[in-house]
């Protein structure tokens, strides 16, 4: 199963949002979807929140994020730090670079953590934007770029038919005799250029290509690694079992009394392959055997816009329009 998200790094939009604020937003969206009217959400520690409903009903609620493996979760955190450093470097060079969104397609995933912690890699990516920005100035402009040998290849995408000849002619006049920038091919919708350049050693070795797009007026998105949004969605059962087991042990220390119900909400953001949690109805019997503290356990999957109760009985609580798969 594969999926595509045009702006997957929206996971980082509110870069300074605290964990508590994030969890409260998840809870509010959950309540909105299941159409429950509440009076107040009180922040707590054990559990995370107390939801006050009419008639003096109180529900304790734990909110946690779903990841199918800790390795993927750790990488997302490391990529966030890397992407923030890259964005700072880009804006330092040109304030308009804040509108340039990049998706990096790696040749290999080995030693990726070492690569994204290399300051020279950040410099090379910023140099790529320096070279390409002349073709990305207009909003919605996009291109693919990659290094081949000593050449930086640029493929401009979706050139309007009525402007194609004029655009190509203009570029040819300016650059056809230059050793630094030459058009190398043309099709009705694409135009390729190459820069003669001996730089970009890290990119040449590790990157298949980089997709760049001007997303003006949006400026909040960070660059994103493409491998987190293509491939097979990993199994969810083991990860769910571990999450539920962990929170049952944690919940044993709670001392809040007079709660009408005790909820565990497991939220799957659906931004990478390791945080999608769909088709969970078959987990019912296994979860019933393992849970003890919570009266209700829900899986809130943003990818399919669905909320499934997996304990005490399995039920589809909310189902929205699924994303394109």
Segments making up each domain of the chain, as ranges? 8-69+234-319, 75-229
Give CA–CA dist 261/62, Å, rounded: 11
Mean pLDDT of 161-183: 39
Query: Are 53 and 36 in contact, with CB atoms under 8 Å apart?
Result: yes
> pLDDT band for position 108 (50/70/90)?
confident
Question: How many angstroms separate the CA atoms of 267 and 275, rounded?
Answer: 9
- Model confidence pLDDT, tens digit, residues 67-79: 776 566 677 778 8
Residues 6+ apart with CB under 8 A from 29: 300
Sheet holding 142-148, edge to edge: 181-186, 190-196, 151-157, 142-148, 207-214, 100-106, 224-225
Question: For residue range 232-288, what is the model confidence (pLDDT) as tens digits?
Answer: 556 777 788 888 888 888 887 777 778 899 999 999 887 666 667 776 655 555 555
Q: How far is the C-alpha of 19 from the C-alpha of 22, rounded, in Å?
A: 5
Which helix (H) or strand (E) segment holds residue 101: the answer is strand 100-106
For the entire predicted model, the pTM comes to 0.57
User: What is the percent of the chain where pLDDT is above 70?
Assistant: 68
Q: Are strands 296-301 and 261-268 parallel, antiparallel or unpaired?
A: parallel
């Amino acid at each position: 199963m594969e999926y595509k998200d045009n702006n997957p790094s929206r996971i980082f939009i509110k870069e300074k949002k605290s964990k508590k604020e994030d969890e409260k937003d998840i809870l509010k969206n959950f309540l909105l979807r299941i159409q429950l009217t509440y009076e107040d959400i009180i922040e707590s520690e054990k559990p995370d929140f107390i939801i006050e409903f009419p008639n003096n009903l109180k529900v304790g609620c734990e909110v946690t994020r779903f990841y199918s493996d800790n390795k993927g979760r750790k990488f997302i955190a490391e990529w966030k730090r890397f992407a923030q450093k890259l964005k700072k470097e880009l804006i330092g060079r040109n304030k308009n670079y804040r509108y340039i969104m990049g998706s990096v397609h790696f040749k290999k995933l080995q030693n990726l953590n070492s690569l994204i912690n290399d300051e020279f890699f950040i410099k090379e990516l910023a140099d790529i934007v320096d070279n390409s920005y002349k073709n990305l100035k207009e909003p919605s402009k996009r291109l693919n770029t990659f290094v081949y040998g000593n050449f930086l290849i640029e493929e401009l995408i979706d050139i309007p038919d009525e402007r194609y000849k004029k655009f190509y002619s203009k570029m040819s006049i300016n650059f056809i005799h230059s050793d630094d920038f030459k058009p190398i091919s043309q099709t009705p919708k694409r135009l390729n250029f190459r820069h003669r350049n001996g730089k970009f050693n890290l990119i040449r070795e590790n990157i298949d290509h980089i997709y760049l797009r001007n997303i003006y007026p949006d400026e909040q998105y960070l660059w994103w690694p493409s491998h987190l949004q293509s491939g097979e969605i990993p199994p969810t059962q083991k990860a769910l079992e571990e999450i539920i087991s962990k929170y049952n042990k944690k919940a044993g220390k709670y001392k809040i009394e007079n709660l009408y119900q005790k909820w565990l909400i497991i939220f799957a953001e659906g931004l990478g392959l390791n945080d999608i949690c769909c088709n969970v109805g078959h987990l019912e019997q296994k979860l019933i055997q393992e849970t003890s503290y919570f009266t209700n356990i829900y899986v809130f999957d943003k990818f399919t816009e669905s909320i499934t109760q997996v304990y005490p009985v399995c039920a589809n609580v909310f189902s929205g329009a699924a994303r394109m798969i």
